[in-house]
Structure 1
Amino acid sequence: MTPLHDAGSDAGARRPGINGMRLRGLIRKEFLQIVRDPSSIAIAFLLPAFLLLLHGYGVSLDATNVPLAFVAEAPGAEAASLAEAFAGSPYFDVRRFAIMKDAVAALSTHEVNGIVRVRENFSNITAGTMAPTGPMPIQVILNGVDANTARLVSGYAEGVWALWLEDRERQAGREIRPPVELVSRIWYNSEMRSRNFLVPGLIAVNMTLIGALLTAMVMAREWERGTMEALMVTPVSILEILLGKIIPYFIMGMGGMALSVSMAVWVFAVPLRGSLWLLVLVSSVFLLVSLGIGLFISIVAKNQFVAGQVAIIVTFLPAFLLSGYIFDIASMPRPVQIVTHIVAARYFIAILQSSFLAGDVWAVVRPNLAALVLMAVFFLTLCGLKSKKRLD
């Protein structure tokens, strides 16, 4: 379509720079629009709080209170002692069955995730030896539908078994002298809480979606209502229009980020060991990337429904699946690992997890922050090149 040739448009063309008064007017207009239409406030503050509460409490990689069937074919003191050892573990919810058939039926209907079967010759176990013939005295059967949970349950069961054997040796008065004594020392997340790992990543996933939606939906709404056309015929330059859109939603996005970090520290008790100022800096750069993506989507789509759908597809889903939030990138196929390099959340999550759990590890911060800066420059420049004072 032909460019707008009126006095306002020509004046805007002659003023490619930034006029402070016009820019302040645009920012004030945007904040007034936000107050009149509080959906932006909901996106910036209510959405991250809701998603953090939902995912923070609903998503966990810890296997606790796993329903476990315990079958003792010949009840006795040894079998009862082992059953108590499993029942005393925080990882298992022990359910006792009299016969193996009932336990297998419970496993097939997913009432339990595993079976510990103690056979009749279990009482023949002595220190370091078992019955030389016949079936093994103890059998562990696991539901392998969820392979990760099955591996965790297998490890927990082996741990309970080892501790029970050690306790039995001590009760018998025999001194335990293992050839190698293992002392575990866990760094950065000594409590081994999956929430400490997931919540920082969840902040990045949420801010990816929120930053893109703030600009994508709002700009598209202005195109639909016709207010963008009215703005185009004013003396403002396209750079002032872009800054007038980015600055207010950048402020709101940082407010949402502050809320998310506050909830992570005070609601979910995730330690923040890194510098707060570095976290603010990195969050600012990442938010510019998200806002740039959303702004570019709105420039291309100019429709709220389409902009919202595209924002979810190109920002939230890759951030959720390909950023290392839940799935380890190193375990992905090589082609998928290459694709993850274009997902901005990948770099932000790496810095967030390091900042929260390990502190300011500059070997992690520098390359990931540099990648975010490059992506911010790329998307904002792309928005500037794509934006023109034209009604087409």
Structure 2
Amino acid sequence: MNRQRLRGLVRKEFLQIIRDPSAIAIAFVLPVLLLLLFGYGVSLNARGVPLAVVVDQPSAQTSSFVGGLEQSAYFAPTTYPDIAAARHALMTRQVDGIVWLRGDFTRLALTGRSAPVAVWMNGVDANNARIMEGYLQGVWQNWLQLEAERQGKPLLLPVSVQARIWFNPAVRSRDFLVPGLIAVIMTLIGALLTALVIARERERGTMEALMASPVTMAEILLGKLIPYFVLGMGGMALSVAMAVWLFAVPLVGSLWLLVLCSALFLLVALAMGLLISTLANSQFVAALVAVIVTFLPAFILSGFIFDIDSMPTVVQFLTHLVAARYYVAILQTVFLAGNVWPVILGNSAALMVMWAIFMGIAWRKSHKRLD
């Protein structure tokens, strides 16, 4: 391998990147847009949920319970005169749930028996309905505790649950989504941009000049990979900076470990893109294949949003073929839990195996001829 020829190829590719605004946009503008969209616009937490409240017989107890709903950040309760009006509001999507305090609520609450509270939920969004149910259970438990203290009696419950949340005590979905989004961004930068490099040379007719030159195939491949590796690491640095300083996502683990694992995943993404570019004959086909084969699996099957353990068994098996799955696990661990070495080493080993496979296939498919 001739270093002078390699430097010339790297310089040529950097000039191509500078002259092509789309590459700069994908590497630096697209990460900013995706992070702003998911950081501010997407939330898995239910807050300010419109709730209909019907009270048959107002009393001090019903007022304190409704006050608990009003003080909760998760609900925006609205009082309705009767259950018929609340049902109409639920049917017309004005509210997402109904809390009905019936006429004997106060009597049963004062006698120590379970008070009848009817709760109806809009189950169109099943996940949101389950979250709302959990929040209402919390409001109910808080109200029981306050009533017991007001009466000077201990709260007698068959089971006392003390929840302790690790790694994300604030229970912010942003802290979960933003690290996983970095994997999607790195997949886009690494696979999509690299998938176009060889196909672009074929379309523009410059591949013949490269094949006629004394450069080797190894120099051509390295000359294509090195600039996009630098570009990808720059996009990663921008994404991590926005995650930590703009969205206040805690980085508990080592920054250098995060950089090392990110470089490893970027090599896998570059190898996948290079393989696609080697097999595709046009930039359009290469871009389409890169989106279908790399971006969509990274978005859906990596655990970035959807829990892998909740997927069918066959789909869980398929997720092992998605490189982003291992990188998402590393990102969420390093950001929220720290340097948990069993998780980091196991997923890093899987990424190294995938890099060797993709790079080996790309190398075998790359020949210094035009056929």
Q: CA deviation at 1:319?
A: 0.8
1:65 aligned partner, one-letter code: G
**Counterpart Cα distance in 2 of 1:256 and 1:244:** 19
Give me the CA root mean square deviation.
Answer: 1.6
Query: Pairwise mapping of residues 137-156 of structure 1 onto structure 2 (< 5 A)?
Result: 137-156=116-135
Percent identical: 59
* Residue 282 in structure 1 maps to residue 268 in structure 2: no
Q: TM-score, normalised by structure 2?
A: 0.96
Aligned to 1:3: none
Q: TM-score, normalised by structure 1?
A: 0.91
**Counterpart Cα distance in 1 of 2:158 and 2:79:** 36
Aligned to 2:222: 243
For residue 193 of structure 2, the aligned residue among 196, 209, 214 is 214
2:22 aligned partner, one-letter code: S
Deviates more, 1:212-221 or 1:188-197: 212-221
Aligned to 1:85: 68
Aligned to 1:391: 370
Q: Secondary structure at the match of 1:248?
A: helix
* Residue 376 in structure 1 maps to residue 355 in structure 2: yes
2:278 aligned partner, one-letter code: I
8 Å contact kept, 1:48–1:210: no
**Counterpart Cα distance in 2 of 1:179 and 1:88:** 27
Aligned to 2:39: 56
Query: Pairwise mapping of residues 285-324 of structure 1 onto structure 2 (< 5 A)?
Result: 285-324=264-303
* Residue 255 in structure 1 maps to residue 238 in structure 2: no
1:359 aligned partner, one-letter code: G
Aligned to 2:340: 361
* Residue 95 in structure 1 maps to residue 74 in structure 2: no
**Number of equivalent positions:** 371
Q: Secondary structure at the match of 1:342?
A: coil
Q: CA deviation at 1:127?
A: 4.0
* Residue 234 in structure 1 maps to residue 217 in structure 2: no
Aligned to 2:92: 109
8 Å contact kept, 1:286–1:372: yes
**Counterpart Cα distance in 2 of 1:333 and 1:194:** 24
Q: Secondary structure at the match of 1:115?
A: strand
8 Å contact kept, 1:130–1:137: no
Q: CA deviation at 1:180?
A: 6.0
Q: Which runs of 5+ in 1 are unaligned?
A: 1-17
Q: CA deviation at 1:84?
A: 1.0
Q: CA deviation at 1:302?
A: 2.5
**Counterpart Cα distance in 1 of 2:367 and 2:242:** 41
1:75 aligned partner, one-letter code: P
**Counterpart Cα distance in 1 of 2:147 and 2:162:** 21
Query: Pairwise mapping of residues 134-173 of structure 1 onto structure 2 (< 5 A)?
Result: 137-173=116-152
**Counterpart Cα distance in 2 of 1:108 and 1:185:** 37
Q: CA deviation at 1:113?
A: 1.1
**Counterpart Cα distance in 2 of 1:218 and 1:50:** 24
